[in-house]
Amino acid sequence: MNILILGGDGYLGWPTAMRLSSLGHDVLAVDNYLRRRICRETSSEPLYEVPDLAERAELWQSISGRRVKVSIGDLSDWAYVEQIFTAFRPDAVVHYAEQPSAPYSMMDREAAALTLQNNLGSTFNLIHAVRQFAPECHIVKLGTMGEYGTPNIDIEEGWLDVEHKGRKQRFLYPRQAGSLYHTTKVMDTDLLWFYVRAWGIRVTDLMQGPVYGVETSESAGDLRLYPFLNYDEIFGTVINRFIVQAVAGHPLTVFGKGGQTRGFLNIKDTMNCICLAIETPPEPGELRIFNQFTETFSVRQLAAIVERVGQSLGLNVRTESVANPRVEAEEHYYSPAHTGLVELGLKPHPLTDDVVAGMIRTVQRFQDRIDPSKFLRGVQWR
């Protein structure tokens, strides 16, 4: 298949490019380096330097013999999108091309405006490009579990059957997100759902939880192929950040009570989920939604796991509660369904002590590059 990866330079984009390429697909990875630019501007550089996309593609080719095509450009620019779609008619598009940081989206008006314009602009142009140049193309869109928020009822997989005053209706599961970033993802889903109904395009929306880890089958053993590992408050996801804090001898920083519960997954499972979605496209006119995570943990539980494993490796790890800068429930009901991808064949990689220990050992190789001033940045939601 011809597979286009939007945001191909990213934490998940690059590993996805290698995976799909290793499976024999013709892969074009597109990126505008927005995340690199924002990381630099906010002093949120990742733990180690990551070669640019063209360099990584060359490296990957020299190692695997497989070629990932690369194009650098901005998907919110229609002329560029048109050029990409006419030169490379995709059978599937994996859409990661969004500003992915919730704290960044809450920093100030400019950051919020960039998030709104970039995320909706890229999704909008993608939809119109598929309609115009590749109407059969399967859009695999990365959503987020954060779209659902923390309702007091079970979170179903994308849809909710409502019985009300004796009548029934199936709705998109109602969404109310906790950051502007997450709200742009809700709006992405609104946009896709409208055009699925109006135009009969085919879309898989993957409601993904926070991802941890950096190693996938393709990068194994070669650090130069690893994706970004951010450990700061702005771009670092919680498990990755805790691991780095543990290695640095810095307290694991839990926001408030730490009862915030989310669904998590190993980056290896993200790769498998994407492949499963691509192998089984939905019908035209279908918006297929999967909740993409493998286990739920509270932030407190995650801290306890990292503390325990870190201590077993001789690290001096402790946990500290800091004032919560976010507007969120610190204790809440959380019961999200996640059977769809397992039914397609997903074999989850759980967060075992071995996995945590492996992540700690990876981070230890870069121990002297850790900058503890990055851990807490004081971005306030209010």
Q: Could you give the residue numbers annotated as active site?
A: 144, 181, 185
Residue 63 binding a copy of itself, by CB under 8 A:
no
What the block records as the tokens of 149 is 């928020």
With beta carbons less than 8 A apart as the criterion, state whether 99 and 35 touch: yes
Span near a copy of itself by CB under 8 A; candidates 20-28, 37-45, 56-64, 119-127: 119-127
Minimum CB separation from a copy of itself for residue 273, in Å? 26
Span near a copy of itself by CB under 8 A; candidates 111-119, 237-245, 342-350, 371-379: 111-119
Residue 168 binding a copy of itself, by CB under 8 A:
yes
With beta carbons less than 8 A apart as the criterion, state whether 310 and 360 touch: yes
With beta carbons less than 8 A apart as the criterion, state whether 8 and 70 touch: yes
Minimum CB separation from a copy of itself for residue 164, in Å? 4
Go through the chain and tell me how many residues it has.
382
- The DSSP code sequence of 235-256 is T--HHHHHHHHHHHTPPEEEET
Among 151, 251, 259, 358, interactor with a copy of itself by CB under 8 A: 151
Sequence-separated (6 or more) residues with CB below 8 Å from residue 308:
353
175-194 residues near a copy of itself, rule: CB under 8 A: 175-177, 179-180, 183, 186-187, 190-191, 193-194
Minimum CB separation from a copy of itself for residue 77, in Å? 11
Evaluated on CA atoms 314, 316, 321, 326, the torsion sign reads negative
> Chain centroid to CA 250: how far?
26
Residue 382 binding a copy of itself, by CB under 8 A:
yes
Closer to a copy of itself by CB, 159 or 367: give it. Answer: 159
Binding mask 127-146 for a copy of itself (x = CB under 8 A): -x---x--------------
What the block records as the tokens of 161 is 């059957």
Among 43, 49, 87, 174, interactor with a copy of itself by CB under 8 A: 174
Please state, in angstroms and rounded to a whole number, the distance separating the CA atoms of residues 347 and 352.
Answer: 14
Minimum CB separation from a copy of itself for residue 216, in Å? 34
Span near a copy of itself by CB under 8 A; candidates 36-44, 54-62, 171-179, 269-277: 171-179
Minimum CB separation from a copy of itself for residue 159, in Å? 10
Minimum CB separation from a copy of itself for residue 177, in Å? 6
Among 40, 49, 162, 342, interactor with a copy of itself by CB under 8 A: 162
Neighbour tally for 87: CB within 10 Å: 11
Minimum CB separation from a copy of itself for residue 116, in Å? 6
Residue 154 binding a copy of itself, by CB under 8 A:
yes
Beta strands in the chain (DSSP E): 2-6, 26-31, 68-72, 92-95, 138-144, 159-164, 167-172, 202-208, 211-212, 252-255, 261-266, 287-292, 295-298, 319-322
Minimum CB separation from a copy of itself for residue 332, in Å? 11
70-89 residues near a copy of itself, rule: CB under 8 A: 78
- How many residues touch a copy of itself (CB under 8 A)? 48
Residue 113 binding a copy of itself, by CB under 8 A:
yes
What the block records as the tokens of 290 is 């999967």
Burial state string for 300-332 with b = 16 or more CB within 10 A and e = fewer than 16: bebbbbbbebbeeeebebebebeebbbeebbee
310-339 residues near a copy of itself, rule: CB under 8 A: 327, 333
Instruction: Report in angstroms the alpha-carbon separations of 352 from 27, 251, 252, 266.
Output: 33, 21, 19, 11
With beta carbons less than 8 A apart as the criterion, state whether 263 and 291 touch: yes
Quick one: DSSP state of residue 157?
A: S
3-state secondary structure 45-69: CCCCCCCCHHHHHHHHHHHHCCCEE
Closer to a copy of itself by CB, 43 or 132: give it. Answer: 132
Residues that bind a copy of itself (CB under 8 A): 78, 106, 109, 112-113, 116-117, 120-121, 124, 128, 132, 151-154, 160, 162-165, 167-169, 171-177, 179-180, 183, 186-187, 190-191, 193-194, 197-200, 327, 333, 381-382
